[in-house]
Amino acid sequence: MLNWTDVAIVIRTAAPRCPDRLRDQLGAMGLGCDLSSHQPRRTVPQSYCDAWSVGGSRRTRWVLQFEDDAILSPRFADEALRLLRQANDDLQIGLVSFYNGRRPRVGEKVPIDPRLEILPGREFLMAQAAAMRSHLIGDHNRFVESWTETHDRPFATDTATAEFLRERSLRFGKSFPSLVQHDLSQPSLYGHKAHPNRRSPTFDAASDRSNEKGSGPC
């Protein structure tokens, strides 16, 4: 059975930002992590891929990468592992996202316990908190760096990942409700224009089950 020892966790950050809060949140859940800091000489796609490579060097079964402005549901450790175990049994799922920016559909009830929505890989968006199967990382990184350069889209790393999944005929899973929220007190990690779905409308539903609020900055 998959356990957290089978998952390498990496926080992607950039000076002068400091991911202490996220690191402390993970530590309080008994989860360790590595840091991958953006270097000025590296492009955004290179830094994105560097973080995947840092996790890949741990030789675990999955690598979970966070952007440094992530806020975790108090239930993250238990629920994320449960969803990863579900995904691990389906070899057509190459990636799992724990951030979900979509609004509930009309008449849709947000579940008490997060479920895994299985979607075509081409629909992946927002690499705020995503786990990838480790054996995919090498090919993924080569694809992302080539794709973003060829298409002249230096900030579209999540789109490049979606194209990689599509090319490999892989699906991805997404937690609903979201187990991760954005800290809007910080600008986007690389300073580019923020996506309109940068804040999850369902995050509180995942957090309130522990009678704790995690939807704002500490």
Spatial distance between the Cα atoms of 45 and 125, rounded to a whole number of angstroms? 15
Per-residue model confidence (pLDDT) at position 211 = 39
- The boundaries of the domain holding residue 55 are 4-210
Residue 218 domain flag: no
* Sign of the torsion angle spanned by Cα atoms 72, 74, 77, 78: negative
Per-residue model confidence (pLDDT) at position 30 = 97
The region that residue 55 occupies, defined by phi over 0 for left and psi between -120 and 50 for alpha, beta otherwise, is: alpha
How far is CA 47 from each of CA 52, 133, 157, 185, rounded to the nearest angstrom? 9, 19, 10, 22
Per-residue model confidence (pLDDT) at position 104 = 93
User: Which has more confidence, 50 or 199?
Assistant: 50
Domain count, the chain: 1
- Residue 185: pLDDT over 80: no
- Tell me whether strands 171-176 and 93-97 are parallel, antiparallel or unpaired: parallel
Query: Domain of 97: which CATH number?
Result: 3.90.550
Per-residue model confidence (pLDDT) at position 46 = 93
Is 0.85 topped by the overall pTM?
yes
Residue 217 domain flag: no
Residue 48 domain flag: yes
Spatial distance between the Cα atoms of 171 and 92, rounded to a whole number of angstroms? 6
Average confidence (pLDDT) over 21-32? 96
Spatial distance between the Cα atoms of 196 and 48, rounded to a whole number of angstroms? 21
Per-residue model confidence (pLDDT) at position 192 = 55
User: Which has more confidence, 189 or 82?
Assistant: 82
Per-residue model confidence (pLDDT) at position 129 = 97
| Contacts of 73 by beta carbon, 8 Å cutoff, 6+ apart | 79, 178, 179, 180, 181, 203, 206, 207, 210, 214
Per-residue model confidence (pLDDT) at position 210 = 47
Per-residue model confidence (pLDDT) at position 213 = 38
- Residue 90 has a CB neighbour count (10 Å cut-off) of 12
Residue 93 domain flag: yes
pLDDT in tens, 114-169: 999 999 999 999 899 999 999 999 999 999 999 999 999 888 899 999 999 999 99
Residue 178 domain flag: yes
Residue 73 domain flag: yes
Phi, psi of 169 (to 5 degrees): 55, 40
- Residue 59: pLDDT over 90: yes
Banded model confidence at residue 91, pLDDT cuts 50, 70, 90: very high
Burial 162-201 (b: 16+ CB within 10 A, else e): bbbbeeeebbbbbbbbbbbbbbeeeeebbeeeeeebbebe
Banded model confidence at residue 207, pLDDT cuts 50, 70, 90: low
